[in-house]
Chain A
Amino acid sequence: MEKRRFAREAISEWMRHGGPDSDIVISSRVRLARNLSGHPFPMLATNHQAREVMEKLTGAVRAGKLDEIGKFDIFVLDDLTELEKQVLVEKHLISPALANESRCGALILDRTESVSIMVNEEDHLRIQCLYPGFQVKEAWTKASRIDDKFEEAVDYAFDETRGYLTSCPTNVGTGIRASVMMHLPALVITQQINRIIPAVTQVGLVVRGIYGEGSEALGNLFQVSNQITLGQSEEEILDHLHNVARQMIEHEKAARRRLLAESRLRIQDRVCRSYGILCHAAVIDSKEAAQRLSDVRLGIDLGLIPDVPPAVMNELLVKTQPAFLQQTFNETMTPEQRDVRRAEMIREHFRKFRYGGA
């Protein structure tokens, strides 16, 4: 079977370009939750009602409402294979809830994969915009434009007092969830992270580790997002997130400088060992792979590992997830077989840089 566009590459087109502060901020995301008035929320919708909502929203896109924004493809979830759905989840383009539990769910995805719009997830409409690096406000501007385009075609459930009405009371008001994904290896190595996380949560933000197969934070990646959606304007919410994230970036930068100044040899040894292991290991589990990839990424950002592009970490983190491995090697695998294939995939990937390939 011909692979769909989104299944061919592990890394989305938008991710290939760096952004501001992209040595620390991997990506910025804004998600808006919206519902149509006069239609029950997806949880209580009949199949017929859910289909109506899907047809209204995808119909607006087919009628060209998003033509100014970009080139969009529409995928009806029921038409996708289980493997394709899992690949979309591993690429963070849809939620596990849309993949596994939605009725008449659909994905409206732009060709660069920087805009993914979910239909009939927990809310009728979830508009998500992703930008490389530290660009939350840019992501909001784009999401808001898309929001306006949909609103030309459909009536939203909006209340003057409560704002945009959402299925869950934690999203009501602005319906906005803005987040910044950061790579903070120096704060973890120096253990300052244990001081910083509680401080960040104290000012109303949520910090979350990123997961792989297991239950531990992987690769020193942390997602910081707003908790409150009601009673503050989008601008206030974004300013607050922006300012706190900015401080975290500065702390990470200072920690990196200190590591280089005070323990350069130790840090060089650490990142280069990890590089060596990734280039030669025959078996590697997802946890070790993530940690080594984080080391290599730090080494690249500190100038200790030349000639390897920084995007290698994200790309391999996605490529070595179960569904992606399965579709690459075209076979179902036990976890043990996966560890072998993962090592193989990583070795092949690094060979390109070491022998001056692509």
Chain B
Amino acid sequence: MLCQDCGKRPATLHFTKIVNGEKSEFHFCEACARERGELIPGTANGFSIHSLLSGLLDFDPPGGGAGHVSHPLRCESCGLTYSQFSKVGRFGCSDCYRYFSGKLDGLLKRVHGNTVHVGKVPQRAGRMIRSRREIDRLKRELQERIAREDFESAARIRDRIRELERRLAEG
């Protein structure tokens, strides 16, 4: 399989990406991959596939119309503007996620097909989050049990929810 960019060297990097709502395949050789990912440090040896992918991201154009240039969207913590972010493909700090949140749903949807994390939560700092998730889960289960008229276990689940909510309130 030859590289789709230069058509000369064999392609060694293969992936698909959603472009304008359609799935497209990409097959690049190392040299062309590097060229497209040039804004991003580090190529070769398989560490940098995400770098290349980010080189191909479709960022929303920075700023609104021409009238908004005087107030560029900016992270107040680190000073990075959205326009700089869209050039380098890197956030400056974790607060950038809050300051740019209005534009992120579209971007994340294109990259991941999703916008909300459902995986691991930190062990120590995430105790509250895990309790809240557990309560949500139990509430759904409670509804199911009630719908099935399984009132005995519904009562048990309700007690469990109260217990978790009490502990959450106490911190």
Residues of chain A touching chain B, judged by Cβ–Cβ distance below 8 Å, are 35, 37, 39-41, 43-44, 89, 92, 95-98, 100-101, 122, 144, 147-148, 151-152, 155-174, 176-177, 179, 194, 197-198, 200-202, 204-211, 215-217, 223, 225, 227-234, 237
Those 8 A-B pairs whose CB atoms lie nearest each other, nearest first? A231-B114, A163-B117, A97-B42, A209-B12, A157-B94, A95-B47, A230-B112, A174-B119
Number of interface residues of B (CB under 8 A): 61
In the complex, the answer to whether A95 meets B42 with C-beta atoms within 8 Å is yes
* Interface contact A144-B120, CB-CB below 8 Å: yes
Query: Judging by beta carbons under 8 Å apart, are A197 and B1 in contact?
Result: yes
> Interface code B41-77, partner A: CB below 8 Å = 1, 0 otherwise?
1111111111101100100000000000000000001
B129 contacts chain A at the CB level, 8 A cutoff: yes
Residue among B12, B15, B116, B125 making CB contact with A158, cutoff 8 Å: B125
Interface-central residue, A122, A168, A197, A210, by most chain B CB under 10 Å: A168
Distance (Å) between the CB of A317 and the closest chain B CB? 12
**What 7 new A-B contacts, CB under 8 Å, besides A173-B119, A206-B15?**
A96-B43, A100-B42, A158-B125, A165-B97, A228-B114, A229-B112, A232-B118
Q: Is the pair B31, A230 in contact by a Cβ cutoff of 8 Å? A: no
Q: Name the B residues within 8 Å of A229 (CB-CB).
A: 112
Nearest A residue (CB) for B114: A231
Asked if A158 meets B93 with Cβ closer than 8 Å, knowing A92-B46, A216-B10, the reply is no
Contacts of A200 in B (CB 8 A): 14
The answer to whether A167 touches B91 (Cβ under 8 A) is yes
| Distance in Å: Cβ of B16 to nearest Cβ of chain A | 5
Whether, in the assembled complex, B13 has its beta carbon less than 8 Å from a beta carbon of chain A, the answer is yes
Q: Are A89 and B45 in contact (CB under 8 A)?
A: yes
Contact B119 A232 (CB under 8 A): yes
Distance in angstroms from B171 CB to nearest chain A CB is 17
Known A44-B80, A217-B12: A156·B90 in contact at CB below 8 Å: no
Interface SS, B side? loop
Chain A positions within 8 Å of B90 at CB level:
41, 43, 122, 167-168
B-chain residues with CB within 8 Å of residue A177 when the two chains form the complex:
49-50
Q: Name the residue of chain B whose CB is nearest to the CB of A31.
A: B47
A147 surroundings in chain B (CB, below 8 A): 120
A169-B91, A230-B117 are known contacts. Are A97 and B47 too (CB-CB below 8 A)? yes
Please pick, from A41, A215, A232, A234, the residue contacting B92 in the complex, using a CB distance under 8 A: A41
Q: Is the CB of A162 within 8 A of B97?
A: yes
B123 interface residue (CB < 8 Å to A)? yes
- Let me know if A96 and B119 touch, CB within 8 A: no
- B9 within 8 Å of A (CB atoms): yes
Query: Are B93 and A95 in contact, with the CB atoms below 8 A?
Result: no
Contact A151 B117 (CB under 8 A): no
CB pair A228–B113 under 8 Å, yes or no, is yes
Contact B114 A35 (CB under 8 A): no
- Cβ-based interface call for B153 (8 A): no
A351 to B60, CA, bound (A): 60
A97 CB to nearest chain B CB (Å): 3
Contact A97 B114 (CB under 8 A): no
- A contact residues around B15 at 8 Å (CB): 201, 205-207, 227
Residues of B within 8 A of A98 (CB): 42
Q: Is the CB of B9 within 8 A of A215?
A: yes
CA distance A234 to B121 in the complex (A): 11
Q: Does chain A have a CB within 8 A of B148?
A: no
* A197→B124 CA distance, assembly (Å): 41
Which residues B76-126 have CB closer than 8 A to chain A? 77-80, 88-94, 97, 104, 107-108, 111-126
Contacts of A37 in B (CB 8 A): 94
Tell me whether A207 and B14 are in contact (CB under 8 A): yes
Q: Out of A168, A179, A215, name the residue touching B29 (CB < 8 Å).
A: A215
30 contacts between A and B (CB under 8 A): A41-B92, A41-B94, A89-B45, A92-B46, A95-B48, A96-B42, A96-B44, A100-B41, A122-B42, A144-B120, A151-B125, A155-B125, A156-B122, A159-B94, A161-B117, A162-B116, A168-B51, A169-B111, A173-B119, A174-B117, A176-B119, A201-B15, A206-B13, A206-B53, A208-B46, A210-B45, A217-B12, A228-B114, A231-B113, A234-B120
